[in-house]
Amino acid sequence: AQSVTQPDIHITVSEGASLELRCNYSYGATPYLFWYVQSPGQGLQLLLKYFSGDTLVQGIKGFEAEFKRSQSSFNLRKPSVHWSDAAEYFCAVGAPHAGNNRKLIWGLGTSLAVNP
Amino acid sequence: NAGVTQTPKFQVLKTGQSMTLQCAQDMNHEYMSWYRQDPGMGLRLIHYSVGAGITDQGEVPNGYNVSRSTTEDFPLRLLSAAPSQTSVYFCASSWTGVDEKLFFGSGTQLSVL
């Protein structure tokens, strides 16, 4: 069965420090991969997505993610965190080989706190 | 463009009451969906639609109805509210499906007493 795991429920970093949020998935082929961010009291916003091609994907707000097939991972990174990055981050997986573009599988999220 | 608009932002219901959560988008998206978000459970898909007149169930459809009479609107109906339906509800839309960017509304916080 397809699944998405975000191992870290909560992470705290200092402003200016680097960030890596982990995402692992279980799927028989290469899925669509997404990172969404949710600021407090808001809906979700797409940061970046991977479908195929270059395994290093650039997104908005200075974020990037790297797809590693051998590790079934799609970790999100940012070189220098800003206080405004404090939010909830969700990894999600779609299943193109099943011809299914109607449902995503969502991770439970990682809550990021940023210390000044 | 307003994007995805959800109303109301907050609602308190008594057990057994019915209500409709409104969702409208002005981007001519074919795909629309409803999620609920609960602490520790992430996002769970309730219902979705791939176009006017077409709806289907998600992971947690029980207790909810939807219809899609126009491209723009996708209301979610709670037939007889239960405390287990206390949650934050999000509407999301995209051009054709989840393989594209989903645009989310700002949510409706619902409490059922």
Q: Give me the pLDDT at residue A99, please.
A: 54
Tell me the torsion sign for CA atoms B40, A48, A97, B91: positive
pLDDT for position B73: 98
Task: Compute the nearest-CA separation of B59 from chain A (Å).
Answer: 9
Q: What parts of chain A have a pLDDT lower than 50?
A: none
Q: Which residues of B touch A39 (CB under 8 A)?
A: none
Residues ≥6 apart with Cβ < 8 Å to B42: A90, A106, A107, A108, A109
Q: In chain B, which ranges are E strands?
A: 4-7, 10-13, 19-25, 31-38, 42-51, 54-57, 64-66, 76-78, 87-94, 103-104, 108-112
pLDDT in tens, B4-63: 999 999 999 999 999 999 999 999 999 999 999 998 888 999 999 999 999 999 999 999
